[in-house]
Structure 1
Amino acid sequence: MTVRHDRAGWPALTQPSGHLLLQLAPAADGEDDPILDLSAAVRIGSTLFLGSDEGVAVERLSWNGERWVSAGRTSLIECLDVASGEEADIEGLAEDDGWLWVLGSHARTRPKLKKRDDERLDLTVYADLKDTRARCLLARLPLAADSVEPRLLAPVANAGDRRAQVLKRTKHGNLLSRALAKDPLIGPSTRIPAKEGGVDLEGIAVCFPRVALGMRGPVIQTYAVLLEFEVNQKGGDLKIDGPVYKRLLDLEGLGIRDLKRVGDDLLILAGPTTALDGPCAVYRWRDWAGNPPEHKHAVRLHRPERIVELPFGRGDDHPEALAVVEQDGARQLLVICDSPAAWRVDSDRRSISCDVFDLNVLR
């Protein structure tokens, strides 16, 4: 079992109330295995949706009384105007009023650095940043009853008078990335790769027409940034209605890794902005829904309550996604790790073990 680290000076780790198994379908030929790269989650009724930072698909799972098991995979290509082979880098999933919201990282990335035969590195290749357009994705898809198992939900292109919608994409990104590039505070970070201080969106919460997006990076001095704006529909697309607000959160130097709306409260998964190991925690912003942004530039500093001290590994087990599940009438917070430790993964059964925390106790 991986050794977990508790940094001196930080509170003791919160012990999970148990574990849940997630069992995924095998990856398609030539595709990366999503079980090792899960980055977003949301439970809607009897369906648990998972997103991966590889490809453009959403996993669907159903509860069988013991574990969450695969109920199929939905490619966003079936619902949205996205190209085959794109890597949307899905970093946020949310539900609001029968819609599944999907967020890409909007991040610049470098090619994976490969050594030559003589062990030297070609820095000219490393300096060539990947096109960010594929990851500039903000969309909502209508949910419909599954044709085979009606108790489950599936994202579709059309459901009655509802149509899948996406924030209009441009040649190099979308309308949000364009707004961020022009922003005096965030703009400089749009030209830097994620994990190096660049823009990296992770986590989405919706209280329609209000949308909140978490920023893993940049962190401004020691404050995390939450983006908020309103959207409306223009033709078949989503449109940002009004300004993009920036809200500063004191998360003790950590960036935002995921968001989950629970009633009027907002749960915030926080962790290191880089790929380094480090403290991770869950914060609660009470009555976030009743506390909209007030001004574009003169902002309040918000200090959400730190409620869970999460375990983390060394070189693995990085808490990446949250979902609220129910078992025997009790609400539990499911925490999914990216790069899961070896003890969590059963390759033969295609399952991953995830920590759960009792939300009723945390109230």
Structure 2
Amino acid sequence: MFSPLRFAFHTILLLVVLLPLAVQAQTSSQNPALSIIGKLGINAVNISGMVKTDQFLALATDEGTQIQILPQSSQGYVATNSGVIDLNQTQRAIKEFDLEAMAWQKPYLYVIGSHSKKRKKLKLDWSVKKNMERITPVIDEPDRRVLFRVELSETLKPLHIDKISLLNEIKNDPILSPFLAIPSKENGIDIEGLAVREHNGKTQLFVGFRGPVLRGNLTPILKLTLRAKRFEVKKSKLLLVNLGGFGIRDMQAMEDGFLLLSGPVNAVPNRFSLYAWDGKTQLSPTHEKLALPTQQNEGNPEAIATQNLPGWGQGIWMAKDGAENGDIRFYPFTPK
């Protein structure tokens, strides 16, 4: 089984060897593409979260309120309307939850919203006065403050959907709470990573923040211990990792640690990297061995899932926001 923290030098935080995205972009057609059969019932160009198992593929989008489960067949993953799950269990119309990440621990699929506020974008054809009026208010988005737990049957149908918010956990943390008033993309609260693991018989969720990034280039990760008999946070603890000034875009639990996909806090095109992390606070800077710059108009890395692919070895499936169906492709840790 893959064990990223056994790589060289025994450092706490290691950069996983991955093909530079500049090279990947040039040879992406040679990388295995994940086959999706049929048309997605969710927004196909804004894939923001992914879970991949031997039985199914689950996808989330940051537009709307739905996720989709795609059962695996011999030809790929099959998209049908019956696999679409609406997480809005109220009678109220909700525009979006801004779903950003997913994690799987049988029989539960966890899906999280960004918990962020926003500022409207500029309209380039508007006057300065109208634009100033447009961008002045900070818009509260309470529907984004959600964490779902979806119980799936053996036939991949939703049996029960639970929902909580992490607002109190964020408010009660002295480091995170001041950032609640700040919009996302301006170093405010912006959740984009989620991982789950079992530890000493207890379920733990790790929540990764795209923003804020703190002084000293420290990125927050909130470790949550869940109650055994109901979907509720029993205990939370803030951890910090030094990712060189970048936030977390996704994360994946591994045998003895986690993979962290890092990227810029704002929307400016920049580099993305993949790190291995042992689950403990790491304040010291990490020597960045690889920068993974994206190419314009090809989408940004947004979600990852690990696999040992026959003929390719250990690596990740990576989905991109802004690409059709996420353009999900496999990237080996060791170049072929």
TM range (shorter): 0.7 to 0.9
> Following superposition of structure 1 onto structure 2, how do residues 205-284 of structure 1 map, counting pairs within 5 Å?
205-208=195-198, 209-221=203-215, 222-232=217-227, 238-242=231-235, 244-284=236-276
Q: 1:76 corresponds to which residue?
A: 86
Say if 1:54 and 1:90, in contact at 8 Å, map to a contact too.
Answer: yes
**Does 2:327 match 1:357?**
no
Say if 1:284 and 1:306, in contact at 8 Å, map to a contact too.
Answer: no
The amino acid of 2:300's aligned partner reads H
Kindly indicate whether structure 1 or structure 2 has the higher relative contact order, using CA contacts under 8 Å at least 6 residues apart. 2
Residues 63-96 of structure 1, C-alpha deviation per residue, up to 9 Å, x if partnerless?
4445444244423347x44843331111110011
> Which structure has the highest strand share of the two?
1
The one of 99, 112, 115 aligned to 1:106: 115
The amino acid of 1:338's aligned partner reads D
Residues 306/100 of structure 1: CA separation in 2 closer, same or farther (3 Å cut):
farther
- Alpha-carbon separation, structure 2, partners of 1:127 and 1:118: 14
User: Structure 1 runs of 4+ off > 6 angstroms?
Assistant: 302-308
Q: 1:13 corresponds to which residue?
A: 20
Identity %: 24
Q: 2:322 corresponds to which residue?
A: 339
Shift of 1:99: 0.7
- Alpha-carbon separation, structure 2, partners of 1:65 and 1:310: 33
The one of 294, 299, 310 aligned to 1:317: 299
Shift of 1:190: 0.6
The amino acid of 2:276's aligned partner reads R
Q: TM-score, normalised by structure 2?
A: 0.79
Shift of 1:192: 0.6
> Following superposition of structure 1 onto structure 2, how do residues 115-264 of structure 1 map, counting pairs within 5 Å?
121-146=130-155, 153-154=156-157, 156=158, 158=159, 163-167=160-164, 174=165, 176-208=166-198, 209-221=203-215, 222-232=217-227, 238-242=231-235, 244-264=236-256
The range that moved more, 108-117 or 181-190, is: 108-117
Say if 2:47 and 2:320, in contact at 8 Å, map to a contact too.
Answer: yes
> Which structure has the highest helix share of the two?
2
Q: 1:285 corresponds to which residue?
A: 277
The amino acid of 1:354's aligned partner reads I
Say if 1:283 and 1:304, in contact at 8 Å, map to a contact too.
Answer: no
The amino acid of 2:173's aligned partner reads D
- Alpha-carbon separation, structure 2, partners of 1:142 and 1:12: 36
Shift of 1:308: 6.6
Residues 24/339 of structure 1: CA separation in 2 closer, same or farther (3 Å cut):
farther
Say if 2:47 and 2:326, in contact at 8 Å, map to a contact too.
Answer: no
Q: TM-score, normalised by structure 1?
A: 0.73
Secondary structure of the residue aligned to 2:120 is: coil
Shift of 1:27: 6.7
Q: 1:50 corresponds to which residue?
A: 59
The one of 45, 68, 82 aligned to 1:59: 68
> Is there any run of 5+ residues in structure 1 with no aligned partner, and where?
1-10, 147-152, 168-173, 292-298, 346-350
- Alpha-carbon separation, structure 2, partners of 1:336 and 1:227: 24
The amino acid of 1:250's aligned partner reads N
Q: 1:4 corresponds to which residue?
A: none
Residues 27/74 of structure 1: CA separation in 2 closer, same or farther (3 Å cut):
closer
